[in-house]
Amino acid sequence: MVIPSIGAGRAGPVCMTILDTLDTPAERRRRGPRFGANFMAVLEVSRDLFCLCVGGKVVDINSAGLAMLGAEQADEVVGRAFCDRVGDDYAQVIDDLLNLIEIEESAIPTRLCRLNGETAEVELQIHPARELGESHAVVTARDISHQGRLARTARQSEDRFRVLVEKSMHLIAQCHGGRVVYINTAGRAMLGAWGVRHDMAVADMFHGEYREIFTADLSVLLSEPGMMPVRLAHSDGSAFDAQILVTPLPSSGAVPEFMIEARDISSHLRAVAALRHMNETLESQVAERTRELAEERSHALEAQAFVESLLEAVPNPLWWKGIDGLYRGYNRAFREMHAIGPADWIGRPMTETLDPVFVAVSAAADAQALTKDERVQFEGRLAMADGRNHDVVVSKIAWHSRDDRPEGVIGVMLDITERKQMEAELRRLATTDALTGIFNRRHFMATATIEAERARRHHRSLAGLMLDIDHFKRINDSFGHPVGDVAIKAMAAACTEAIRTVDTLGRLGGEEFAVILPDTELETALAVAERIRLAIGAIAIATDKGTVRFTTSIGVAQLSQENSSVESLLSRADAALYAAKNGGRNKVVAG
C-alpha cells in the first residue's frame, strides 16, 4: 500500500481524504501529534509497516509495523526514536529525513532491527506530512527478506528451468549485451540457419526496419515493458510476424543481460485481420442498409430482405434490438443457439429470455454502446439450448436512424468455450504433478506460504508433515520403475483420503510428499499422521512378481512464533522424518 504524493509540504489526494475525516482543524490541534484512529484504521489492512513520527519519534504505528519490529504492544515502540531501529549505515540519513532536513522520494534499502535483536531486510520510505503539524512524517517499510530467499531457491532450480526452456514450443533466447549467447530448440527451428550461429547479434534476429532500429540503439528493445509485435527474419531472407517479450535478467556487470521470448503469430494475424474485415464490412453494410430503409420507404421490403439474407449468412449468432431493449431480429445462428423460432423472442426483453447475471452485464454494454457510440466488447457465460453453459465474447455497436440518432444495438457473439477449457487445462498442468494429480512442488510451496502468512497474521495454529516411502529403492529394483510409479500414486491417493479439503498435499519430488494442515495443533497433526501411516501400510499392489506392500516414515512440526516461515516449518518436519527413519522407519515423529 502506498500513500501517494505525501512530500514537499503537500499531502496527496488519498492522504487529504483521510485527514478530512479527523474532525475540525481545531480538534486536530487539540488532540496533538496522535492524529486519530481513522487514519491508522485504514492502514491496518496493509502488510507493510506504517507509522507516524513527530520529531523523529514514533507516535502511532499499525499492526504490521509492530509485527515487523517484533513488538507485541504499541507502548514498546511509541515514544521512541525510529532511527534507533535502523542499521548504523543509514541511521544519520534516516534521522535527517525524519526531521525533514532532507527529502528523498525513492525507497531506501536498509535493515530494521527488531526488539529481539534480529534484523530484517526492508525498503524504507519517509514522506513529509506537514499538514499534520511541524516535524510530522509518515514512514513506510516493506519486508523484502523473502525475496532474497526466493532468489536463492531460483538459482538451485536453474537446471530444471533449462530443461523446461528447451521443451518450450516458442523461441527463448538469452542475450548478453548485443549478442545472443543461447537459443533453445524451438528458436533454432523458427529462425532456420540463424539459430545455429554462435554469438550472433541480437539485431540479426529481426527483419527490415526493426533490425536497423535495434542495431542503432538496443535500448529501444530493452525499454519495452510488455509484449511487442515485431517482424523476425528467417535464414532464407523471408520475414514473419511474431510477438516478443523482453525480460531483464539479474546482472552484476555493466553489460545488460536479458531474455527474449518470441511466438510466431503470422497465422493468428491473418485470421484476426480476416475476421475484423468481415465484421467491419458487415457492420458497415447493416448500418448503410438501415439508413436506406428510413430514407426510402418505397424500397423497405427489398432492403429488409437484403439485410435479412446477409445476416442469415453470418456463421456467428447475431441480433439487433431497439433503443427500448426489445428484440427486433436475429439470424439463424442465434436461433439455433437458443433453439427458438423466427418470431419467438421478437418484441421481448432480455430479462424474459436469458440468465439474470448475463442480462446485467449485457444491459450495461448496451447502455455504453448507445451513449458513447463506440464498439463495446465483454466476456460472459451463457446457458444455451444444449443445456451447457458456454463461454462467449460479445461485441456490440449502436445502429442509427436517418438523422444519425442511435436507434438500437447490434450484437455479435463468438463461442470461446474450447479456448477457455484449454486455458484451464494449461493452468492445471502448471500447478499439478503429472504422475499423481496432486500439487507439484512449486504450487505447493506457493500455497503453503499463503497459509503460513494467514496463520501468522491471525495468530492461528498451523502444522506440517513430511513423509516418504520406506525403502523405495527396493521396490524399483525388485519390481521395476512402473510398479514404483504405482506405489507413488497409491500413496498420494491414501494421503488425499486421509486429510481434509482445506489441507494442502504436494509431491516435492520422487517419493517425497508434504502436507500443510491449517488451524491444527501438534497433537491433532500427530493423529492425522498416524492415520496416514496406517492407510499407507494397508496398501497392497498385485504384480507378476508378487504383492508389493510398503510403509512410510512421517515427520511432524508445528509453526512457531519465533520463525513463522514455511521453509523453517518444513525443515523441522524433514528433520523429524529422518529421525523416524533412523529410529527404525514406519513411525511418526514430532520435530
Task: Point out the residues that are catalytic.
Answer: 511
Q: State residue 467 phi and psi, 5-degree precision.
A: -150, 155
- Cα(577)–Cα(553) distance, integer angstroms: 6
Three cell numbers, residue 45:
489492512
Distance in angstroms (rounded) separating the CA atoms of residues 412 and 358? 15
Instruction: Report how far residue 39's alpha carbon sits from residue 62's, in angstroms, rounded to the nearest whole number.
Output: 10
Distances (CA, A) of 165 to 151, 160, 227, 451: 18, 9, 19, 30
Strand 376-383 relative to strand 546-548: parallel, antiparallel, unpaired?
Answer: unpaired
User: CB–CB of 586/168 below 8 Å?
Assistant: no
> Long-range contacts of range 99-108, CB-CB < 8 Å, 24 or more positions apart?
99/55, 99/56, 99/135, 100/128, 100/130, 100/135, 100/137, 103/7, 103/8, 103/128, 105/7, 107/142
Sheet-wide strand order for 504-509:
504-509, 512-518, 462-469, 552-558, 588-590
Cell of 516: 500443510
Q: Which residues, other chains included, contact 457 with Cβ-Cβ below 8 Å and sequence gap of 6+? A: 47
Question: Residue length, the chain?
Answer: 591
Picking from 442, 437, 572, the residue whose alpha carbon sits closest to that of residue 495 is 437
C-alpha angle 472-474-476 in degrees, rounded to nearest 5 = 75
Euclidean distance between CA atoms 128 and 134, whole angstroms: 9
